[in-house]
A = this chain, B = another copy of it.
């Protein structure tokens, strides 16, 4: 059992009827549900809560943080971002989804612009497993097919991942590194591309499987307690 916090800016679902139909209780509710069904201890947090729901107490008790944001990246307070980044360095897992490529914590952890190409025309996407031996691909078939998605295309301006697990093909002619694993500090980060506010992608069972795998993979073990700074010689 992993202690999971699902963070969602929770903006589209309350402002746009089309989104509300797909995710009436918010994207976070759907993510939380299937992770709870997998036996994890799950809470949610949203932008409009005090400290965005990410107090020191909540983060201190979080093993893996999922992040969904799109319209309100800039409204996330910098002190909360500092806290998230620091917790990742200490060992907390971090799983930014889809448009969270542009979230403050992900950009801070990557050190790059995290820019990409995009297009919203409901194209077909096929996520190919390029690293079948990686735990995040566990039990997934050779490829996951999504009938209608927003396109994200290369160049995706991120550091070379420690492991590239998925690469997407898009109907319109682009490719994308859709599943990228990193370690930052003592924490593990898995960026996973699929998701959208109007295509019901988080209800897809194969996508749910990958997210469950990512949570299991990103959960910290008994992390080494490192001493930094001025030290005495060992010899």
- Which chain B residues border A177 with CB–CB below 8 Å? 130, 167
- What is the number of residues of chain A that contact chain B, defined by CB distance less than 8 Å? 77
Residues A126 and B225 in contact in the complex (CB < 8 Å), given A159-B159, A159-B182, A186-B132: no
Asked if A60 CB lies within 8 Å of chain B CBs, one says: no
Residues A233 and B175 in contact in the complex (CB < 8 Å), given A182-B159, A184-B111, A185-B112: no
CB distance from A224 to the nearest CB of B (A): 4
Tell me whether A118 and B230 are in contact (CB under 8 A). Answer: yes
Residue-wise, chain A 180-224 has the 8 Å CB interface mask toward B (1 for contact) of: 001111111000000000000000000000000000000011111
Tell me whether A228 and B115 are in contact (CB under 8 A). Answer: yes
Q: Closest B-chain residue to A136, C-beta based? A: B221
CB within 8 A of A126: which of B167, B221, B234?
Answer: B234
Main secondary structure of the interface of A (DSSP, over half): loop
Tell me whether A221 and B138 are in contact (CB under 8 A). Answer: yes
Instruction: From A172, A175, A188, A229, name the one whose CB has the most chain B CB atoms within 10 angstroms.
Output: A175
Contacting chain B: which of A12-20, A23-31, A139-147? A139-147
Cα of A53 to Cα of B41 in the assembled complex, Å: 45
11 more CB-based (< 8 A) A-B contacts, given A89-B113, A143-B234? A91-B133, A128-B154, A131-B183, A133-B187, A133-B188, A142-B155, A142-B224, A155-B224, A159-B162, A169-B169, A172-B233
Which residues does A use to contact B, with CB under 8 Å? 85, 89, 91, 108-113, 115-119, 121, 123, 126, 128-135, 137-143, 145, 151, 153-157, 159-160, 162-164, 167-175, 177, 182-188, 220-235
